[in-house]
Amino acid sequence: MSASYLSIRDEISSRADALQRLTFPRCRLCPRRCGANRASGHRGDCMVADELPVSVGLLHFGEEPPISGSRGSGTIFFYGCPLGCVFCQNHQISRPVSTAPVLRHSMSVEELADLMLELQDKGAHNISWVTPTHVLHHAVRALGIAAEKGLEIAIVYNSGGYEELGALKLLDGLVDIYMPDVKWLTRENSMFCSGVPNYPFTVKRALEEMWRQVGPFVMNANGIGVRGLLVRHLVLPGGLSDTGMVLDLLEPYIRKGAAVSLMSQYYPPREGLAAPLNRHLTAEEYEPYLERLLDMDPEVAFIQELESQYSYRPDFDSDGVFHDV
């Protein structure tokens, strides 16, 4: 969010009002358009009614280097998710895939604004909203309050790429860095992994809009991201992530300066997942795509050692501190 927005906080409030209208009387804030009457307390497919559930907010050092930097990314994990992948890699904080308890704390918009300011005071390079899609009306309202009180660091929008175009357009000028996933591009894999048929169409449209708003990924002299598009893709076992098609889609963006993160860290989050989600990725399934990406000569790219998949187990201690153990 640029400093100029401090003078147009009424504009932010009107954007929040417009987003709120997308939730009423039947919610269509995300591409599921499930129609839940959230104001009456009904939970939608995202598992959230009209509350603002935050799983945790902290300085996070495990993101890509231009996002975490040396002082951490002020990361706010929202509970719930419109997509609901069966293998959610963040299920402890997003939505339950087992009987394990999920962290959540319902906040007011004022409390969320204060949390963002607190993270800024602790030195965060940015505020990163993780999976904000289904609570966007509240998050933007909180942003207006925080801006009025002096929030001035970059806003990072970190999501699964499953975004309603009308909602995204209302973020124009408020988000500095978009960090969406592109998860898969076939209806078949989308249904198998998340039960939604329209992800491929939706994510392509969302990418176009995000690119229109922020363009190439730009870093400051210290290597900290200040603006632009950074796309993530998690390679899944058994070809479930359509990685060849995803790289075809991303190539024009990469050649124009979008950053990309090709991840190999998939792990089966629970027992009983259907094959091939019940196993890790192999080198044969990752390395050809890595070579293909490097052939595109990206300006900014992040890759992972395959071994990282065996060490990535996000977990929280009793204080809500995030560990990559």
Residue 32 within binding range of ligand SF4, rule CB under 6 A: yes
Residue 38 within binding range of ligand SF4, rule CB under 6 A: yes
Residue 132 within binding range of ligand SF4, rule CB under 6 A: no
CB closest to ligand SF4, residue no = 44
Q: Which of 12, 16, 19, 36 is in the footprint of ligand SF4 by CB under 6 A?
A: 36
Residue 276 preceded by cis peptide, ω within 30: yes
Residue 124 within binding range of ligand SF4, rule CB under 6 A: no
Q: Which stretch binds ligand SF4 (CB under 6 A): 23-31, 104-112, 226-234, 301-309?
A: 23-31
Residue 34 or 245 with smaller CB distance to ligand SF4 = 34
Residue 160 within binding range of ligand SF4, rule CB under 6 A: no
Q: Which stretch binds ligand SF4 (CB under 6 A): 41-49, 151-159, 185-193, 286-294?
A: 41-49
- Interacting positions 276-295 with ligand SF4 (CB under 6 A): none
Q: Which stretch binds ligand SF4 (CB under 6 A): 6-14, 44-52, 96-104, 216-224?
A: 44-52
Q: Which of 44, 132, 225, 314 is in the footprint of ligand SF4 by CB under 6 A?
A: 44
Residue 27 within binding range of ligand SF4, rule CB under 6 A: yes
Q: What is the rounded radius of gyration, in angstroms, for the C-alpha atoms of the chain?
A: 18
Residue 30 or 156 with smaller CB distance to ligand SF4 = 30
Can you read off the two tokens belonging to residue 215? 């363009």
Contacts of 166-172 with CB under 8 Å at 24 or more apart are: 166/22, 167/19, 167/22, 167/29, 167/30, 167/133, 167/136, 168/206, 168/209, 168/210, 168/213, 169/209, 170/15, 170/18, 170/19, 170/140, 171/15, 171/136, 171/140, 171/213, 172/213
To which H or E segment does residue 115 belong? helix 109-121
Query: What percentage of the chain's residues is helix, strand, coil (to nearest 5)?
Result: 35, 20, 45
* C-alpha 89: how far from chain center: 12
Q: Which of 46, 109, 140, 254 is in the footprint of ligand SF4 by CB under 6 A?
A: 46
Q: Which stretch binds ligand SF4 (CB under 6 A): 38-46, 100-108, 175-183, 315-323?
A: 38-46
Residue 9 within binding range of ligand SF4, rule CB under 6 A: no
Judged by CB under 6 A, the number of residues near ligand SF4 is 14
Residue 34 within binding range of ligand SF4, rule CB under 6 A: yes
What 3-state class would DSSP assign to 227?
strand
Can you read off the two tokens belonging to residue 293? 């990406």
Residue 138 within binding range of ligand SF4, rule CB under 6 A: no
Q: Are strands 322-324 and 314-316 parallel, antiparallel or unpaired?
A: antiparallel
Residue 252 preceded by cis peptide, ω within 30: no
Note the residues at the interface with ligand SF4 (CB under 6 A): 27-30, 32-34, 36, 38, 44-46, 82, 134
